[in-house]
């Protein structure tokens, strides 16, 4: 797992209070990890803070799963 | 009007993590005041407060994890956590678990707070100045709103009846219980989870009340002596945190399910001083009329009341004004009256005070004992009323009255009555 993926996973575990083994790439924040719409807003903010990237609102809407987040952040950093 | 009784009690207070623990410590004459922990007090005039004792949940300490998941705690200010904890306890104590749609629709919440999420507002404002508005959490607003105490409790326990809140400074808890009792009396609900909650012990809270000259400043080196209602050396109130919540229930509803009944809410009175934003009217007229209204509703006079749980905050002005109003209303019956201030032990829980004190008043009726006014060494005025200095007093209590007065000149009195089983 990449560094970004490791860190994303850690943030998700911390914010959503879920078991680490459930935070797989395909896991949807809302459908699989019990987040609500406010949780996802906060998650995106936490990603911005942790990775020093800006995630505009229209991009944030496309980030629905752990994998989406990793992909977006890696594309910004690459 | 339908009769309303108290069938469950819950509390998080500076004296402990439950109503029973807090009550036992009050009867033992213990104080909840300590040097402030958790933030810098070097530049604050007041360095003492009655903070909720945090811990692992043993020995009366409060462990928030027992009531709310850590990820949920992160989203809210402490006043919501305290209310959720007190409501959990009160609902469990009452044994009322609304399961059917109809039962849920007939069960509501009415929990207030004087100030709400002061600490979170202060911290978020500073953070926004440093990092910009995009860093403000989506949980900032819902975690600070006063009525979200009712909101969280209603969601957790599926209470779909009236969902309400009260904000009347230090009268909040009494108004919440009084208003909730009326909702039941008027048949808007059968059960109401009602009370008050507060968490203002933070730098901004202390500085703000210091600026109003409301807090004790002379007992920083002996905190447990700081809250001393009616004593000539009192110099302001000691701030407290916590929550008190009761389950109120229509009498027949409670009897039908065999619920234990602590007391009946037979009187509720409200009044306004229309005088000054922080000082009570010097003639005590607001408090006088408020007690009178509550007694009228109960159909009794102050001479019928055995015990008064005073507002008695330990401020130089307020204590004597209240005492004078009680004496005036009692007339020739003052000599047979017993009145104490449990704020001497808990400090002043602001928006939670009226609810916490209504619970102590109900427990005074249950146990037939008047809790003491601790630190009362030299009364500042002479009175015929027994202020229960320093030692609890066993006595017959059939009727008891609890007073709450708040900034803005807002007053509330509750009258509770013993219910024969």
Is residue B421 pLDDT above 90, yes or no?
no
pLDDT confidence of residue A77: 82
Taking residues B120-143, report their average pLDDT.
96
Is residue A58 pLDDT above 70, yes or no?
yes
B258 interfacial to chain A (CB closer than 8 Å)? no
Is residue A2 pLDDT above 90, yes or no?
no
Predicted confidence band at B275 (pLDDT cuts at 50, 70, 90)? very high
The per-residue pLDDT for range B234-244, each reduced to its tens digit, is 999 999 999 99
Q: Hey, are the CB atoms on A15 and B71 less than 8 Å from each other?
A: yes
Of A14, A38, A45, the CB nearest to B135: A45
Taking residues B161-174, report their average pLDDT.
98
- Answer for the pair B270, B249: CB distance below 8 angstroms, yes or no: no
* A58 is known as an active-site residue: no
Of B71, B134, B142, the CB nearest to A16: B71
The per-residue pLDDT for range B390-401, each reduced to its tens digit, is 999 999 999 999
* B170 is known as an active-site residue: yes
Q: Hey, are the CB atoms on A45 and B70 less than 8 Å from each other?
A: no
Catalytic residue among A21, A31, A32, A36: A36
Q: How many CB atoms lie within 10 A of CB A2?
A: 10
Is residue A1 pLDDT above 70, yes or no?
no
Taking the CA of residue B137 and the nearest CA in chain A, the distance in Å comes to 6
H-helix or E-strand spanning residue A12: helix A3-16
Q: Hey, are the CB atoms on B70 and A17 less than 8 Å from each other?
A: yes
Taking the CA of residue A78 and the nearest CA in chain B, the distance in Å comes to 24
Both tokens assigned to B18: 């439950």
Per-residue CA distances from B139 to A15, B111, B239, B313 (Å): 12, 20, 27, 34
Q: Hey, are the CB atoms on A38 and B139 less than 8 Å from each other?
A: yes
* B164 is known as an active-site residue: no
Taking residues B382-411, report their average pLDDT.
98
- Cα atoms in the Cβ-side hemisphere of radius 13 Å centred on B397: 29
Q: Hey, are the CB atoms on B71 and A41 less than 8 Å from each other?
A: no
pLDDT confidence of residue B420: 86
**Domains of chain A in sequence order:** 2-75 (1.10.1200.10)
pLDDT confidence of residue A78: 65
The per-residue pLDDT for range B256-265, each reduced to its tens digit, is 999 999 999 9
Per-residue CA distances from B348 to B60, B101, B341, B394, B403 (Å): 20, 39, 10, 25, 13
- Answer for the pair B115, B145: CB distance below 8 angstroms, yes or no: no
Instruction: Please list every residue in chain A whose beta carbon sits closer than 8 Å to the beta carbon of residue B130.
Output: none
Taking residues B319-336, report their average pLDDT.
96
Residue B97 CA, distance from chain mean position? 25
Q: What percentage of chain B reaches a pLDDT higher than 70?
A: 100
Q: Hey, are the CB atoms on B139 and A17 less than 8 Å from each other?
A: no
Instruction: Please list every residue in chain B whose beta carbon sits closer than 8 Å to the beta carbon of residue A14.
Output: 71
Distance between CA atoms of A73 and A67, rounded to whole angstroms? Answer: 10
Q: ipTM, 2 decimals?
A: 0.87
Is residue B146 pLDDT above 80, yes or no?
yes
* Predicted TM-score of the model (pTM): 0.96
pLDDT confidence of residue B11: 98
Residue B61 CA, distance from chain mean position? 19
Q: What percentage of chain B reaches a pLDDT higher than 90?
A: 99
pLDDT confidence of residue A69: 96
Catalytic residue among B170, B175, B202, B290: B170
Instruction: Please list every residue in chain A whose beta carbon sits closer than 8 Å to the beta carbon of residue B71.
Output: 14-17
Taking residues B383-390, report their average pLDDT.
98
Q: Hey, are the CB atoms on A41 and B138 less than 8 Å from each other?
A: yes
Q: How many CB atoms lie within 10 A of CB A17?
A: 15
The per-residue pLDDT for range B25-76, each reduced to its tens digit, is 999 999 999 999 999 999 999 999 999 999 999 999 999 999 999 999 999 9
């Amino acid at each position: 797992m990449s560094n970004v993926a490791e860190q994303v996973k850690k943030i998700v575990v911390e914010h959503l209070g879920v078991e680490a083994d459930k935070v797989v790439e395909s896991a949807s924040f809302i459908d699989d990890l019990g987040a609500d719409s406010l949780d996802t807003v906060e998650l995106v903010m936490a990603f911005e803070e942790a990775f020093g990237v800006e995630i505009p609102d229209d991009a944030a809407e496309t980030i629905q799963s752990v994998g989406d987040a990793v992909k977006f952040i890696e594309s910004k950093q690459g | 009007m339908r009769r309303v009784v108290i069938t469950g009690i819950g509390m998080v207070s500076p004296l402990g993590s439950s109503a029973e623990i807090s009550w036992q410590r009050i009867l033992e004459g213990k104080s909840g005041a300590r040097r402030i922990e958790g933030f810098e007090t070097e530049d604050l005039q007041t360095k003492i407060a009655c903070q909720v004792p945090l811990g692992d949940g043993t020995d009366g300490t409060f462990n928030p994890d027992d009531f709310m998941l850590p990820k949920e705690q992160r989203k809210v200010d402490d006043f919501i956590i305290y209310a959720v904890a007190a409501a959990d306890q009160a609902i469990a104590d009452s044994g009322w678990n609304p399961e059917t749609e109809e039962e849920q629709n007939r069960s509501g919440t009415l929990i207030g707070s004087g100030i709400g999420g002061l600490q979170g507002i202060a911290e978020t404002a500073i953070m926004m100045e440093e990092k910009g508005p995009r860093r403000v959490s989506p949980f900032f607003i819902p975690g600070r709103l006063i009525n979200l105490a009712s909101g969280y409790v209603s969601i957790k326990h599926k209470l779909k009846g009236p969902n309400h809140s009260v904000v009347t400074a230090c009268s909040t808890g009494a108004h919440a219980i009084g208003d909730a009792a009326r909702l039941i009396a008027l048949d808007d609900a059968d059960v109401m989870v009602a009370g008050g909650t507060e968490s203002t012990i933070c730098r901004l809270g202390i500085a703000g009340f210091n600026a109003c000259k409301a807090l004790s400043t002379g007992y920083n080196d002996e905190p447990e002596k700081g809250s001393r209602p009616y004593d000539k050396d009192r110099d302001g109130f000691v701030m407290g945190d916590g929550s008190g919540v009761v389950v109120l229930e229509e009498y027949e509803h409670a009897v039908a399910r065999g619920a234990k009944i602590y007391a009946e809410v037979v009187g509720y009175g409200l009044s306004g001083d229309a005088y000054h934003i922080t000082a009570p009217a010097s003639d005590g007229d607001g408090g006088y009329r408020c007690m009178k209204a509550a007694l009228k509703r109960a159909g009794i006079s102050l001479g019928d009341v055995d015990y008064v749980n005073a507002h008695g905050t330990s401020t130089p002005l307020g204590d004597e004004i209240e005492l004078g109003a009680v004496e005036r209303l009692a007339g020739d019956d003052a000599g047979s009256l017993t009145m104490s201030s449990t704020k001497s032990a808990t400090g002043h829980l602001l928006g939670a005070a009226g609810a916490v004190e209504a619970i102590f008043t109900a427990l005074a009726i249950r146990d037939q004992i008047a809790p003491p006014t601790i630190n009362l060494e030299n009364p500042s005025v002479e009175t015929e009323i027994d202020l229960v200095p320093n030692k609890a007093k066993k006595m017959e209590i059939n009727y008891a009255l609890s007073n709450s007065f708040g900034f803005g000149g807002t007053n509330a009195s509750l009258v509770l009555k013993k219910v024969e089983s």
